[in-house]
Structure formats: structure tokens, C-alpha cells
Amino acid sequence: MPPGTDEPPSETPAEARLQEALEDATEAAPDHGHTPPGASVELRRFQASPISIKHDRDGDQVLLSYLTGTADFGGGPVSVPGGGEGVALVGYKSHGAVKWARAFAGRTSSIIGPAIDKRGNISLVVEKSFWPDMDFGGGPISAARFIVGLNRTGGFRWVRPIGGQGFFQPYEIVASRSGDITIAGVYNGVVDFGQGPLASAPDTAFIAQFSADGTPRWSHIFPDVKGSEAPGLAVDDDGTTYLGGTITTAFNGDGSYYGDFFLKRFTPGGTLVWSRRVLGPLGNVRSLAMHGNRVALTGFFREPFSFAGQTVTPSGWADAFVLTYSTSGEESWGQGFASRGRSIAVSSKGEVVVVGDYVTGDTIAGVPLPPVPPSAAPWSIFAASFKISNGRIRWARGFPSTGSWVSDVDIDKKGLSRVVGYFYGDTDFGDGPVTPVSPYTGFVLGLAR
């Protein structure tokens, strides 16, 4: 154990077998409701564009969504103050009833969240570029980029401007049990998280942590020859932080870029404990989740690569993936399937759920997905669940569509997965095709454990 790293011992084979036995016992428990795993058990629709959904320690969930004008998220109409464009926060009880809802006026280039601490306080990170000032209840915020702290029903608490010039793209924000707030993403130019300017010419991954009231604590940047970005971020109960992303190795003619994958672990005080790199996948990390002693990543890849002693090979132009590590940095298992992974979650029962895109002919661990209807949009949405200890498939679902987008997935305390996104073409969520209201309809889809 390197001195000062606070690194725990690796999981022993006996501990791994015990974890698998616990998961097998849980999986074999009788389902008194006779609902098949992965079955659609809830569908909410509204005229808004969901960004993400997260749960708090009580199992209640908060939805973040773009909103134009007025929408009914299930508890009555919610309107952007003054009309026009804005964002909405909606609090749902664990059984799906709306607890509260708020809308805020203002257009953003990017708004990420919600991060929810143990008291239910909410944090968002915003990049609004040259759009007009936003108001989250504490008066107009003129900063181009900032973190805003809200209470458990969306009331204003504080704001922390982020300084700098140039490109700035936040990807994730999380809160620890102590209330510390961590953000991650990519920037190009100069960024100042409150402890001095950090300059970088290529696109550079960053991580920055703030206390519960927005005071800067620590930050790191990760410049590389061709650039890097960090869309994956998670924190465990003691404040240990995991950062996942991509180190650029190749560029495409359309300006997109691909590369190797990385995963880093930091102590609660911001010290780097270890760093891992996956060589050769020529892809992008898109999301990270963790629970207990496992960390899971998803995204897409284009070339074969080695992981956990196996070769992971794409079946087409690009495949989604799930890679899992122990919290001590050991490679556990990896799989490739479908087309692109967009978001990933890990339940308290040791189950991974990943959502993303698929095309006709795609399979997930041998499970065929339904054909995609002919349309201008070649992709439909998939959701799949694996056992985190060994990668065995639990269930896989495809939702054929002539136009849809999946944004996020979250798993509540009872194991129900809620998938959010929007659809602009007929989409089958499990009970036959549903037609959207033009130009698109947002959804929250509940899938049984």
C-alpha cells in the first residue's frame, strides 16, 4: 500500500464469491407481483425535454428538464416565469407522485444536475455562455458559468461563479454525504474555480470540489497532448471520488474525437490514489456509477481492446460497453453490445442498469433487440441490467422508435429503474406505439427490478 493513499486492500476471491452468492439469493427471491424483470410498469409523458433524474437518501427522486412555456409533470401545470425558455425541477415521491415543482426562466448552453446531499439540498452547475441572466430565486445571475445551491424544494440558497474565458463544458455534478459538491467536465482556455486561474490550450478534463456552501476546496486538470474530457463522476459514502473519461488519440473529419478510457480515484481531500487507462478502444466514456466496492463505466468503442484478461470486440461500427473495476482499481469484467451507452446506474442490491442506443440486428449478451422501424432516425433506445459482481445479464429491453433520445437512468431504493428522455416519433414503451405531441414529448419510464 503506497504511503498516504488510504488505499484499502483488494477484494479477496472469497469476498467476491460471497457477493455473487448474495446477488444470486436476491435474484432467486420470489416475485409476488409476478412482474417480469425489466417490464414497463410506469410511463409519464409531458411537453418538456428531460435532462436527468436522481434519487435522494429517502428514495424520492428529482427530475431536471428543459422547459418552454408550460408543462404538466403530473402534479398540475408548471410555467416558466414570464413565458419563453427555461428549466424545471420536479420532486417525485418514491411511488411516482409529484411532491413539488419549480420552473426558472433563462436559456442555457448546458445545465447539469441535480446533485442531492443527505439533507436533500440540491446543486446544479450551469454554463450559459452569452444567453441572458438566469434567476433561481435569488436575483439575476450574470456569471457565464456557476454552481447554484437550492434547498430540498428548489428554493434559492447560494451561487458560486466560476471564472475564466473560453470553452467550458460541465458533464456531471455529485454531492457527498457531508454535503461537499464535486463537478467534472472539459474546458479549453482559462478556468478559475476560486483558487487561481488554470490555463490549457487543448481540451482538458477537470475535476473541482466545493464545500456545501460553495467554498472552493480542491481541483485538478489533466492536460494531454491531444486533449481529454471527463463525463464520469461518482462519490462514495466517505467522500472518496471516482473520475472517468477519455484521453483523445484520434480525430474524425466532422470534428469528433475518440481515444483511450481512464478511471481515477481521489481521497476526500483531493489526493490522487490511483489511475487506470484502457488502451486502444477508440471510443468515448459517457457515464460512470458506483456502489459498494464496484465502479462501472459506459460509453461506446470502435476497436477491440483488452480488459480483465479478455478481448472486448465490437460487433459493428460502434458498440456500447460496460466496464467494471473494484474500488482498489482492479479490472473486474467488461462487455460490448448494442451501439452506444448513454447513462449507467448501480443499485444498492448490486445491479447495473445501462441505457443507450441500438440499431436493427443488435443484441445484448445474446438477447436480440426488436427491429428499429424504418425512419430518418436509425437508432432506438435500449435498457439492460447486469449483475455487477460477474456481468451476467439479468434482462434487456428494446423500445422501437421512429425518433427518440435517452438522457439518463436512475435506480431507486426498491430497485425500480427510471429512464428519462424524449421522443419525436412513434415509440413503443412496452404496450404498443405512442405518438408524441409535436415537436417532441418527454418521458419518465419505470422498469421493474
In tens, the pLDDT along 193-204 reads: 999 999 998 999
Omega of the bond prior to 161 within 30 degrees of 0, cis? no
In this predicted structure, what is the pLDDT of residue 254? 75
Handedness of CA 350, 230, 212, 267 (dihedral sign): positive
286, 343 contact by CB (below 8 A): yes
DSSP 84: S
Q: How far apart are CA 409 and CA 281, in angstroms?
A: 24
In this predicted structure, what is the pLDDT of residue 131? 81
Confidence of residue 6 (pLDDT cuts 50, 70, 90): very low
Choose between 255 and 207: higher pLDDT.
207
Q: How far apart are CA 14 and CA 378, in angstroms?
A: 45
Confidence check: pLDDT of 24 > 80: no
236, 327 contact by CB (below 8 A): yes
Which among 432, 412, 434 has a CA at the least distance from the CA of 424?
Answer: 434
Exposure of 21 in the CB half-sphere (CA atoms within 13 A): 6
pLDDT, averaged across the chain: 92
Q: Which tens digits make up the pLDDT trace of 191-244?
A: 999 999 999 989 999 999 999 999 999 999 999 889 999 999 999 989 999 999
Query: For residue 52, how far is the Cα from the chain centroid?
Result: 7
Q: How far apart are CA 414 and CA 177, in angstroms?
A: 20
Omega of the bond prior to 439 within 30 degrees of 0, cis? yes
Q: Reading across the β-sheet that carries 441-447, which strands appear in turn?
A: 40-46, 441-447, 417-423, 404-411
Q: Which tens digits make up the pLDDT trace of 296-335?
A: 999 999 999 999 999 999 998 899 999 999 999 999 999 9
Q: Which tens digits make up the pLDDT trace of 266-294?
A: 999 999 999 999 999 999 999 999 999 99
Please, is 376 exposed, middle or buried when counting C-beta atoms within 10 Å of its C-beta (0-12, 13-18, 19+)? exposed
Q: Which three cell numbers stand for residue 30?
A: 420470489
Share of the chain above pLDDT 70, in %: 93
Residue 162 three-state SS: coil
The residue-averaged pLDDT of 254-266 equals 92
Confidence check: pLDDT of 28 > 70: no
In this predicted structure, what is the pLDDT of residue 93? 93
- Candidate from 24-38, 114-128, 327-341, 388-402 with smallest mean pLDDT: 24-38
Q: How far apart are CA 53 and CA 63, in angstroms?
A: 4
Confidence check: pLDDT of 29 > 60: no
In this predicted structure, what is the pLDDT of residue 373? 94
328, 294 contact by CB (below 8 A): no
In this predicted structure, what is the pLDDT of residue 394? 97
Q: How far apart are CA 436 and CA 434, in angstroms?
A: 7
Confidence of residue 2 (pLDDT cuts 50, 70, 90): very low
The residue-averaged pLDDT of 102-117 equals 94
Confidence check: pLDDT of 26 > 50: no
Q: pTM for this one? A: 0.92
Please, is 329 exposed, middle or buried when counting C-beta atoms within 10 Å of its C-beta (0-12, 13-18, 19+)? middle
Q: How far apart are CA 436 and CA 403, in angstroms?
A: 10
In this predicted structure, what is the pLDDT of residue 130? 75
Share of the chain above pLDDT 90, in %: 83
Q: How far apart are CA 337 and CA 323, in angstroms?
A: 12
Confidence check: pLDDT of 122 > 70: yes
Confidence of residue 252 (pLDDT cuts 50, 70, 90): confident
Confidence of residue 3 (pLDDT cuts 50, 70, 90): very low
In this predicted structure, what is the pLDDT of residue 16? 52
Q: Which tens digits make up the pLDDT trace of 333-344?
A: 999 999 999 999
Confidence of residue 12 (pLDDT cuts 50, 70, 90): low
Instruction: For 226-290, give the secondary structure using H, E and C.
Output: CCEEEEEEEECCCCCEEEEEEEEEEECCCCCEEEEEEEEEECCCCCEEEEEEEEEEEEEEEEEEE
Task: Enumerate the domain spans of the chain.
Answer: 13-27+35-55+338-449
Confidence check: pLDDT of 380 > 80: yes
The residue-averaged pLDDT of 184-197 equals 96
In this predicted structure, what is the pLDDT of residue 30? 43
Give me the phi and psi of 237, to 5 degrees please: -65, -30
Exposure of 222 in the CB half-sphere (CA atoms within 13 A): 21
Bridge partner residues of 86 (DSSP)? 67, 105
Q: How many CB atoms lie within 10 A of CB 157?
A: 17
Confidence check: pLDDT of 118 > 60: yes
181, 147 contact by CB (below 8 A): yes
Confidence check: pLDDT of 20 > 60: no
In this predicted structure, what is the pLDDT of residue 4? 34
In order of 20, 249, 280, 283, 435, the CA distances from 246 in angstroms are: 30, 9, 11, 8, 37
Residue 388 three-state SS: coil
